[in-house]
Amino acid sequence: MKGITATAESHGTEMPGHISAAADAAKETALALLLLWITLTLTSAHQAGGQHLWTALIIFSAAGLVWKIGRSAWLGWSRLERLHRVIEEEKWEIEHHRGQEREELRALYGANGFEGPLLDEVVDVLMAAGDRLLRVMLEEELGLFLHVYEHPLKQAFGAGVGALIGIAIALLGLWVWPSLGLLIGAFLVIGASGATAAIHEENRLLPAVVWNLALAALCTGIGYFTLRIDRKSVV
C-alpha cells in the first residue's frame, strides 16, 4: 500500500494556498530588500547618492514581484498536475484491482477501530460507490484533501499581494527613517508573516514569530558583518 498511515494522526486544517503564498512572499521580499539595502549602503554602490539607492531598490522590487507571482502560479499548476495524475492512477487501480482496494479499505478502517460485521458493512458501502471510494482512498490512504488545492491564479494573486505589502512597508520605513526604517519595516513584515501562518495553521504564535525573526536576524547579521569585514580588509 502507498501510504496507509498517511492520516494516522490529526493534522488539523491546512492553510489556504493563497494565504501561504502571501505570507511567504511578504517575508521573502522584505528580507531580500533588507539584504540589498545593507549591501548597497555598505559598498561603493551607495556613493552615487540616495536617488541611486531608491532606483536600485525599486527595480529589484519590481523584478522580485514578477518572480514571486510567476513562481507561485507555476508551483500551483505543478501541484494540480500531480493531483490529477494521482487521481487517474487511483481510479485505474479501483477499476482493475478491486480485491486489493477492498483489502486496503479493511486495513484502513480496521486500524481505526472497526471490526467484525460493522467493518464488513462499511467496506461494502464504500466499494459500492465509485466516487466515494475514490475520495476515501485519496484522503485516507494518500492523505490528499481536494479542498486544499486552490486555483494557481488565486495563489499567484496571494503571492502578489504579499510581495506588494512587503515592498510597501519596507520602502515606507526607508522613506520615513532613512537610517533604520527599512530594517524595522522588514522585521515587522517578517514577524507578521510568521504570525499569520501560525494562526491559520493553529500553531503556537510566539515561537513562530520568534523563530522567523531570529532567522532573519541571523541572515541580516551574516550579510552586514561580512560586508563590514570585507570593507576593512580592502581599506
pLDDT, tens digit (0-9, with 9 covering 90-100), for 141-158: 666 666 566 888 999 999
Question: pLDDT above 90 covers what percent of the chain?
Answer: 43
Check the CA dihedral 60-183-37-168 and report its sign.
positive
| 161 Cβ contact list (under 8 Å, min separation 6) | 22, 25
Question: pLDDT above 70 covers what percent of the chain?
Answer: 83
DSSP string, 191-224: HHHHHHHHHHHT--HHHHHHHHHHHHHHHHHHHH
| Long-range contact pairs involving 49-52 (C-beta distance under 8 Å, separation at least 24) | 50/178
Q: Give the span between the Cα atoms of 130 and 196, in whole angstroms.
A: 39
Q: What's the maximum distance between 2 C-alpha atoms anywhere in the chain?
A: 83
Query: Which one, of 33, 12, 56, lies nearest residue 165 by Cα?
Result: 33
pLDDT, tens digit (0-9, with 9 covering 90-100), for 111-133: 777 777 888 777 777 777 667 77
Query: Which one, of 11, 25, 37, 12, lies nearest residue 164 by Cα?
Result: 25
> pLDDT band at residue 231, thresholds of 50, 70 and 90?
low
What pLDDT score was predicted for residue 10? 34
Query: Which one, of 25, 35, 21, lies nearest residue 64 by Cα?
Result: 25
Q: What SS3 class is residue 150?
A: coil
Reported residue count of the chain is 235
Report the mean per-residue pLDDT for the chain: 82
> pLDDT band at residue 4, thresholds of 50, 70 and 90?
very low
What pLDDT score was predicted for residue 111? 77
Q: Give the span between the Cα atoms of 50 and 58, in whole angstroms.
A: 12
Cα–Cα distance list, 185 to 115, 179, 192 (Å): 58, 12, 11
Dihedral pair phi/psi, residue 234, rounded to 5°: -70, -40
What pLDDT score was predicted for residue 140? 67
pLDDT, tens digit (0-9, with 9 covering 90-100), for 214-226: 999 999 999 999 8
